[in-house]
Chain A
Amino acid sequence: MATNLFDLTGRIALVTGASRGIGEAIAKLLAEQGAHVIVSSRRIEGCQKVVDEISAAGGSAEAFPCHIGDMEQIDTIFEHIASTHGRLEILVNNAAANPYFGHVVDTDLPSFQKTLDVNIRGYFYMSTAACKLMRKQGSGAIVNTSSINALSPGPQQGIYSITKAAIVSMTKTFAIECGPDNIRVNALLPGLTKTKFAGALFTHEDIHTQLMEKIPMGRHAEPEEMAGAVLYLVSDAGSYTTGTCTVVDGGMSL
């Protein structure tokens, strides 16, 4: 019997933005592979629903709210992880903000600030906190959910695309500096995925048509189709993979 390279038994995983969409799919798959998953998003109700579904399927999970745009809440969740578990093997930075949809020139300051606070500052300080725990234990894996907008800006999504490109640079920076600590850091770059978060891309018919024409596979992705790539990146199957951008986009960025 072959060793299961994707087995996560006994590992503690924190997934942000996990109450729905891609984060929910990732949380459920990591739990299915044996991890204890801390399901996090701003509101605990949505997290608890995911936890209940994981538990009903025989998995292990807990809900913990955290708005990663709030530095105090980042401190709080990591204090909880340190005191309750004392370690963290996996962090999936998936929570993101995209409050503004429109021409880049008209970007208002509150939307600009919120997008940066969550997508850059939030990812950054979640990563530093996680790395401090991972450094002590001598290993860890972080996956940052970016977007193919990091490679080519999406229509009407200027500031969001800019932050997603920053996440790619952040991923490489952490991968280089934390490699000696046996902490691997990779980015997931999803393409057009059917989620509430990406709702505007589906409701604006002209934009949706424009995007679909660029996808060789001729369809959008379901959230579950992102989870397998994350499982590879955080498990022993990806033990020599760090600093990469894993593009999962049906060929859209080719």
Chain B
Amino acid sequence: MHTSYDFSDQIVLITGAASGFDALAAQRFAQAGAKLALGDINAEAVQTLADQIKAQGGEAMTCDVSNNEPVTAFISACAEHYIRLDFGINNASISHPKKRLHQLDEAHWDQTNGVGQKKKGGGLCMKYKLTQMVEQQSGVILNVASAAGLMGSPFLNLYASGKHGVVGLTKSAAS
């Protein structure tokens, strides 16, 4: 009588997938029948994860984003390979040295809030996923933020700023 969660033939794209809870999520999705597209800057680790999933009978493709490959290439490759995209999980993230705000370099701003990271990185992922999802008239996007997206975080100021941005972007896109 118990209903198990079933994601048969659903297409799930995960960024930052090589480790942590997203790697677990990838395995769970695969066990529930989903087909995966996995991206991470650690190309070797994400390929190992994909191989494990395939060895267990699942289906997974990877995308090497170690050279800041544009997210559009990853999402296009996924859409081309699987034809559609049902779930997009944005988890790729970066932090910075734990310092007071005035002690951080300008480079840290770019790293955490600029090109390829947090708001811009996640936002670009959403942009291209939404392009696909709007076309197919369905889809679910999950942005991994943090408690630091809801409250101030001492010495993690730029990180918190980026995560607040993720929350704002999520709400805006949803509405």
Q: Decide if A251 touches B2 in the complex (CB within 8 Å).
A: no
Nearest CB to that of A214 among chain B residues?
A: B175
Q: Decide if B31 touches A34 in the complex (CB within 8 Å).
A: no
**CA gap between A59 and B2 in the complex, in Å:** 9
Return the CB mask of A45-86 against B: 1 if under 8 Å, else 0: 000000000000111000000000000000000000000000
Which residues from A are CB-within-8-Å of B1? Answer: 32, 34, 57-59
B interface residues, how many (CB within 8 angstroms):
12
Q: Decide if A32 touches B2 in the complex (CB within 8 Å).
A: yes
Q: Decide if B28 touches A251 in the complex (CB within 8 Å).
A: no
Give the residue of B3, B5, B174 whose beta carbon is less than 8 angstroms from that of A251: B174
Taking the closest CB of chain A, its distance from the CB of B95, in whole angstroms, is: 21
Q: Decide if B5 touches A216 in the complex (CB within 8 Å).
A: no
Taking the closest CB of chain A, its distance from the CB of B52, in whole angstroms, is: 14
Taking the closest CB of chain B, its distance from the CB of A248, in whole angstroms, is: 12
Which chain A residues in 1-60 approach chain B with CB under 8 Å?
Answer: 1-2, 4, 6-7, 9, 32-34, 57-59
Q: Per DSSP, are chain B's interface residues mostly helix, strand or loop, or mixed?
A: loop
Q: Decide if B174 touches A33 in the complex (CB within 8 Å).
A: no
Q: Decide if B4 touches A216 in the complex (CB within 8 Å).
A: no
Instruction: Say whether A254 faces chain B, with CB atoms less than 8 Å apart.
Output: yes
Knowing A1-B31, A2-B28, A2-B31, say if A7 contacts B2 (CB, 8 Å): yes
**CA gap between A153 and B146 in the complex, in Å:** 28
Instruction: Say whether B156 faces chain A, with CB atoms less than 8 Å apart.
Output: no
Instruction: Say whether B32 faces chain A, with CB atoms less than 8 Å apart.
Output: yes
Which residues from A are CB-within-8-Å of B28? Answer: 2
Which residues from B are CB-within-8-Å of A1? Answer: 31
**CA gap between A38 and B13 in the complex, in Å:** 40
Q: List 29 A-B contacts (CB under 8 A).
A: A1-B31, A2-B28, A2-B31, A2-B32, A4-B2, A4-B5, A6-B2, A6-B3, A6-B4, A7-B2, A9-B2, A32-B1, A32-B2, A32-B3, A33-B2, A33-B3, A34-B1, A34-B2, A57-B1, A58-B1, A59-B1, A216-B174, A216-B175, A251-B174, A251-B175, A254-B171, A254-B172, A254-B174, A254-B175
Other than A2-B32, A4-B2, A33-B2, give 18 A-B pairs with Cβ distance below 8 A.
A1-B31, A2-B28, A2-B31, A6-B3, A7-B2, A9-B2, A32-B1, A32-B2, A34-B1, A34-B2, A58-B1, A59-B1, A216-B175, A251-B174, A251-B175, A254-B171, A254-B174, A254-B175
The 7 closest A-B pairs by CB, nearest first: A254-B175, A2-B31, A58-B1, A216-B175, A254-B171, A251-B174, A251-B175
A residues sitting closer than 8 Å to B (CB atoms) are 1-2, 4, 6-7, 9, 32-34, 57-59, 216, 251, 254
